[in-house]
Structure 1
Amino acid sequence: MRIARDVAALGAFTALAVAGTAAMSTTASAAPNVTPQGVCGKAYKTVNSVPVGSLGTVYLTYNSANGKNCVATIRANPGSAKPMSAYIYVPATDEWAGDDGNFTSYAGPGYVYGKGYCVSWGGHISNVYVSVENSNCAALKEQRVTEIR
């Protein structure tokens, strides 16, 4: 529950989403130059991203064929395993998915049905946490938060 406690400051939904990902924890490893499409699937196009300081990037992707979004956190410099997470949440449907654990190059994928909905998403690498709320939903302005703990 340490992750849930650390992320709580980023918003109530963030704490809920990241705390639940612990049950899905696995150790992923991949070769350098991992891409969002390599993690999520070739049909997923990158629609948004947010840097995790200088440590990597969280990517939001979308597959127009099935209406699903995917999120992945990818390290800039893969190496020894570090605490990482990736999560996505659809407030309108209360659906969320994510991945959390110690990884060598990426966390994820996490998939949700997002066609026509705002999504909130983010992740962390080591002690740098990022979140994007109300993303990719036209009229609402998204809110981005980066926190170092």
Structure 2
Amino acid sequence: MFKKFRNAALLTAALATGSLALASPASAAGPVASYNNACGSGYGVVNYANVGSKGTVFLTYNNSTGYNCAVTVRANPGAAVEMVVSLKRTSDPASEARVDSGYYTTYAGPVYRSAAGSCVDWYGYIDGANEHRNETNCG
């Protein structure tokens, strides 16, 4: 329980101060994990960020609903490790981020956010490694 609150506090601080990496294009090398369709029907990958070599956080979008979805996927599933995925509209305070955190064997999430016409901030964490993007996929 403490770790869940610690992760939320760290994420909130990082989002509020902008201390994590700013938006940058996805790696030319491609994702280290494969998208698992966890967001469901109608969602297509629009961006991703590798979480070191441990996995990938995927940002997806559903054109018919205007919702984004994020999921953090491990490259090598196995014993449960601490994982987090977070998604929010850039214009929203950090406290309104949709977050899923816990000890998972394969993936964290999905988390959903209505974001048509907005930029989004998204974050993935896997067992000590994290990756974050701010103000991406605007529109």
TM-score by length of 1: 0.72
- With over 3 angstroms needed to count, the CA separation of the structure-2 counterparts of 1:64 and 1:8, relative to structure 1, is closer
State the structure with bigger RCO (CA 8 A, min sep 6), 1 or 2.
Answer: 2
Larger % of helix: which?
Answer: 1
- Structure 1 stretches (4+) deviating beyond 4 angstroms? none
- 1:35 paired with 2:35, answer yes
Aligned length: 120
Matched residues in 1 for 2:128 and 2:60: separation?
Answer: 24
The equivalent of 1:90 in structure 2 is 89
Describe the superposition over 1:32-81 as per-residue Cα deviations: whole angstroms up to 9, x where unpaired.
x86342x1012100000000000000000000010000000000000000
Matches within 5 A, 1:129-144: 129-137=130-138
- How far is the alpha carbon of 1:123 from its aligned partner? 1.4
Between the aligned partners of 1:55 and 1:74, the Cα distance in structure 2 is 9
Identity of paired residues, percent? 39
Partner in structure 1 of residue 116 of structure 2: 115
Quote the offset at 1:129 in angstroms.
1.4
Point out where structure 2 has 5 or more consecutive residues left out of the alignment. 19-32
Q: Which runs of 5+ in 1 are unaligned?
A: 15-32, 139-149
- Amino acid corresponding to residue 65 of structure 1 in structure 2: S
Deviates more, 1:126-135 or 1:93-102: 93-102
2:70 is matched with 71
* Equivalent in the alignment of 1:62: 61
Counterpart residue identity of residue 57, structure 1: T
CA deviation vs aligned residue, 1:7-34 (integer Å, no higher than 9, x gap): 46633278xxxxxxxxxxxxxxxxxx86
- Deviation, 1:130, is 1.1
Counterpart amino acid of 1:111? Y
In structure 2, the residue matched to 1:21 is none
Aligned to 1:12: 16
With structure 2 as the length reference, what TM-score do the two structures score? 0.77
CA distance in 1, matches of 2:13, 2:45: 27
